[in-house]
Amino acid sequence: MPAWMDAGFAEYAARMPREARIELKTLKPAPRGGGARRALEAEGGCILAALPAGCLRVALDERGTLIGTAELARRMARWRESGRDVAFAIGSADGLAAGVKRAADFVWSLSPLTLPHGLARVLLAEQLYRAVSILHNHPYHRE
């Protein structure tokens, strides 16, 4: 992954207030033996196993629901009120396993474009930061 992608994610993660801290957990790629479909399903099992128990699961997929930043902020406020941690799942170059999307509480599209997962991380972190800024009435976000 290019260094600028890691740096971009780290920049927004560092800006987040303590109560909205974001962490990145990278999983090892699934072995390719048996074909892409089998590898994708194995990766899906690893993703589901890595999610914290009881968390609200958000799967990122270009075919998911498109929402704007203000709507993301409203959803984040509801998620915060639920008292559950929120986990965002971003798939590999082959996408996200169907089982992960089925297990998700929300399937969200950052864009209908197919994005490299590193760029999706940066975009996700920036949008989370922007939504938290809205919730804190910070001038970072202007409508």
Alpha helices in 16-115, H assignment, sequence order: 36-50, 69-82, 98-103
Domains in the chain: boundaries: 3-135
**The predicted structure's pLDDT at residue 121:** 94
pLDDT per residue as tens digits for the range 8-39 = 999 999 999 998 999 888 887 666 667 888 88
pLDDT per residue as tens digits for the range 74-127 = 999 999 999 999 999 998 878 899 999 999 999 999 999 988 889 999 999 999
User: How far is residue 32 CA from its own chain's centroid?
Assistant: 24
pLDDT tier at 131, thresholds 50, 70, 90: very high
The proportion of the chain whose per-residue pLDDT surpasses 70, expressed as a percent, equals: 94
Q: 56 — phi, psi (to 5°)?
A: -85, 125
Burial class of residue 42 (count of CB atoms within 10 Å of its CB; 0-12, 13-18, 19+): middle
Domain boundaries 3-135, corresponding CATH code: 3.40.1280.10
Kindly report the pTM of this predicted structure. 0.90
What is the mean predicted confidence (pLDDT) over 38-64? Answer: 93
Between the CA of residue 49 and those of 53, 55, 64, 104, 124, what are the distances in Å? 9, 12, 22, 13, 22
* pLDDT at residue 56 tops 80: yes
**The predicted structure's pLDDT at residue 100:** 97
- Residues paired with residue 90 on neighbouring β-strands, in sequence order: 60
